[in-house]
Amino acid sequence: MNLKSFVIVLSVCLNLVLGIIIYNEVTKKEAVDVGLAFKQAVSIKNYDLVRTLLTEGREKQIKDEDFKKVSDLMSAGTTYKTYQLLEFDNGEMVLLNLTPNDKYEIQDVVIVPERLKSLFK
């Protein structure tokens, strides 16, 4: 293989790898995307679509009645918030309220009270 052919093959391979990386970044679901898809599927009562958003093994544990209750609670306006829960080895928890933009900066820090820890487990 001469140098010219090698450069062409290398260029094609690099373009292919770069294309795959860009595709993965563009199609990656963010937390807000999952929330929006959940709201849309529940609002049209497409519970099979909602189940595709659930983690494996949880599809059967969350009932259609739960989705119906969420549907009844919905209103026209929705705010999407992003949180990060820090759970330490000593059992303590801290909840970080993150900005809704791509920078994910911390807006608020809340130490989770003992009585609410079971909610996050």
Query: pLDDT class for 101, splitting at 50, 70, 90?
Result: confident
Q: What is the pTM of this model?
A: 0.59
How far is the C-alpha of 30 from the C-alpha of 105, rounded, in Å?
15
User: Residue 86: in which H helix or E strand, if any?
Assistant: strand 82-87
The proportion of the chain whose per-residue pLDDT surpasses 90, expressed as a percent, equals 18
Question: Does 29 have pLDDT greater than 70?
Answer: no
- The predicted-structure confidence for 51-96, as pLDDT tens digits, reads as follows 888 888 777 778 888 888 888 888 778 887 888 899 999 999 999 9
CB of 50 within 8 A of CB of 42? Answer: yes
Q: What angle in degrees, to the nearest 10, is found between the helix axes of 31-43 and 64-73?
A: 90
